[in-house]
Chain A
Amino acid sequence: MVGKIIKRTYMGLIFLFLYMPILVLIVFSFNESKSRGHWGGFTLKWYGELFRDPDITKALYYTFLVAFLSSLIATVIGTISAIGIHNMGLLGKKVILNVNYLPVLNPDIVTGVALMTLFISMNMRLGFTTMLISHVVFNIPYVILSVLPKLRQMNRHMAEAALDLGATPFYAMRKVIIPEIMPGVITGALMAFTLSVDDFVISFFNTGSGVTNLSIIIFSMARRGIKPSINALSTLMLITVVILLLIINKRSTKGDELIP
Chain B
Amino acid sequence: MLRRNIIELRNLTKSYNDTVVVDAINLLIRENEFITLLGPSGCGKTTTLRMIGGFEDPNDGDIFFEGTRINNVPPYKRNINTVFQKYALFTHMNVYENIAFGLRIKKVPNDEMKKRVQRMLKLVDLEGFEKRHVDSLSGGQQQRVAIARALVNEPKVLLLDEPLGALDLKLRKEMQIELMDMQKNVGITFIYVTHDQEEALTMSDTVVVMNNGVIQQVGSPVDIYNEPENRFVADFIGESNILEGIMHEDFLVSFSGRKFRCVDKGFSKDEPVDVVIRPEDIDVTSPEDADLQGVVSSVVFKGVHYEMLVESGDFEYMIQSTDMQPVGAGIGLKFGPEDIHVMKRGSDNEK
Contact = CB atoms under 8 A, between A and B. Distances in A.
B84 A165 contact: no
Contacts of B11: none
Contacts of A166: 76, 102, 105-106, 153
A9 interface: no
Interface string A155-183: 11110111111111001000010011010
Query: Of A160, A166, A167, A182, which is in contact with the most chain B CB atoms at under 10 Å from its CB?
Result: A166
Interface stretch (B88-96, B118-126, B188-196, B271-279): B88-96
Contacts of B106: 166
A146 B92 CA distance: 18
A25 to B, nearest CB: 43
Contact of B82 (A161, A167, A176): A161
B76 A167 contact: yes
A182 B76 contact: no
Query: Of B80, B84, B150, which is in contact with the most chain A CB atoms at under 10 Å from its CB?
Result: B84
A158 B88 contact: yes
B152 to A, nearest CB: 9
Contacts of A160: 53, 55, 75, 82, 84, 88
Nearest to B78: A164
A172 B92 CA distance: 13
A164 B157 CA distance: 12
Contact of B149 (A165, A167, A171, A179): A165
Secondary structure at chain A's binding surface: helix, strand, loop or mixed?
A: helix
Given A163-B74, A165-B105, A158 B82 contact: no
Contacts of A162: 90, 101
Contacts of B150: 164-165
B116 interface: no
Interface residues of B, number: 25
A45 to B, nearest CB: 50
Contacts of B92: 179-180, 182
B30 interface: no
Contact of A161 (B54, B74, B84): B84
B81 interface: yes
A157 B76 contact: no
B113 to A, nearest CB: 13
B82 A164 contact: yes
Given A164-B53, A164-B81, A157 B88 contact: yes
B248 interface: no
B133 interface: no
Given A160-B75, A164-B53, A164-B82, A180 B102 contact: no
B184 to A, nearest CB: 23
Contact of A165 (B54, B74, B85, B153): B153
Interface of B: 53-55, 74-76, 80-82, 84-92, 101-102, 105-106, 149-150, 153
The 6 closest A-B pairs by CB, nearest first: A165-B102, A157-B88, A161-B88, A166-B105, A163-B75, A179-B92
Interface of A: 155-158, 160-168, 171, 176, 179-180, 182
Given A157-B88, A167-B105, 14 more contacts: A157-B84, A157-B85, A157-B86, A158-B88, A158-B90, A160-B84, A160-B88, A161-B84, A162-B90, A164-B53, A166-B105, A166-B106, A167-B76, A182-B92
